[in-house]
Amino acid sequence: MSSEIKKIGVFTSGGDAPGMNAAIRAVVRAGSYYKKDVFGIMRGYEGMIDGDIVKLGARSVGNIIQRGGTILKSARSEEFRTAEGRKKAFNNLKKEGIDSLIAIGGDGTFTGLHKFFQEFDVPSICIPGTIDNDLSGTDYTIGYDTATNTAVDAIDKIRDTAMSHNRLFFVEVMGRNSGYIAMNSGLAGGAGAIIVPEENYSFDELMKLLGEGSTTEKKSNLVVVAEGSKIGGADELARKVAEHSSYFDIKVTILGHLQRGGSPTYFDRVLASKMGVAAVEGLMKGENDVMVGIRNNKIVYNGFDAVMQKHHELDSESLRIAKILSI
């Protein structure tokens, strides 16, 4: 491996995701293992601009693998979108002697890192940390498994009250452009219908499905809706169904930011650990302007264009199975 990289800056950016701390821990400890200095950049690109940078060691990241959120904090930075802001950030890195970067975040994080690499040629690698699982180039993103398990746990609890009162519940989960959480939490939770942004599911189709339930006297049901649904969120769909039918007693639950919090699952901890080590080793091997991914349980490195020009496609087979099981 190359010894050119000496000081690594690591930061989290965009929305937080369970497992980010495990990734930070892996980067810091892998850096220490390979005798590299690692610096934590607070509040993402905003902290880079403000010079809010602290040195981290193997002991400073102890007891964080099980914690949700991010010890480095996260923020969105409008100033980093400007050439002046990025120049200020670069000068702060130079002042600390930081010669490489590892970012943990989603597509916005990777876009900022790519722009920074183009302008200043700082060796950089992105680790995909987002609950949406919407990035091409990896089977899973850090945080997705935990968020989906949180949604399943909530759906299980909602089902109890739905059956006790013969109610129809609309449960809205996160997923502005990606239906992965909705699809798999709905399938695992036995939802009667799953509505995702990727599918052209119409309101008439939903009413038909609910109508079929009423003919068999199925009064309790669950509809899982991704927040980015093309036919409306849970509140809007519940209102429309109530206007068209008086058969159901309708309730709505919006899970919201509940899905971002909590201790990461074992899967997200292991995934984050593997990706954190792979990011450090990738920098040492000369990988630049790439995102770490995992495909068929093997680490891969994806170029910016490969990640950004293609959406992580939803598994249509799971949706087909969910429809079969919803009767």
Mean pLDDT by 10 residues, the chain (327 residues): 81 96 98 98 97 96 97 94 97 98 96 97 97 95 98 95 88 94 95 91 87 62 94 95 86 95 97 98 96 96 90 84 82
As a whole number of angstroms, the distance between CA 217 and CA 212 comes to 9
**Predicted pLDDT of residue 18:** 98
* HSE of 22, CA atoms in CB hemisphere, 13 A: 25
Domains within the chain, CATH numbers bracketed: 7-143+264-308 (3.40.50.450), 145-260 (3.40.50.460)
The whole-model pTM stands at: 0.94
Which residues make Cβ contacts (< 8 Å) with residue 253, sequence separation at least 6?
Answer: 154, 158, 169, 170, 171, 172, 234
What is the sign, positive or negative, of the torsion defined by CA atoms of 75, 81, 82, 87?
A: positive
Q: What are phi and psi of 125, to 5 degrees?
A: -140, 140
**Predicted pLDDT of residue 1:** 45
Pairing mode, strands 37-41 and 53-56: antiparallel
For residue 178, which of 127, 204, 140 has the smallest C-alpha distance?
140
Catalytic residues: 132
What would you report as the CA-atom Rg of the chain, rounded to the nearest whole angstrom? Answer: 22
**Predicted pLDDT of residue 226:** 96
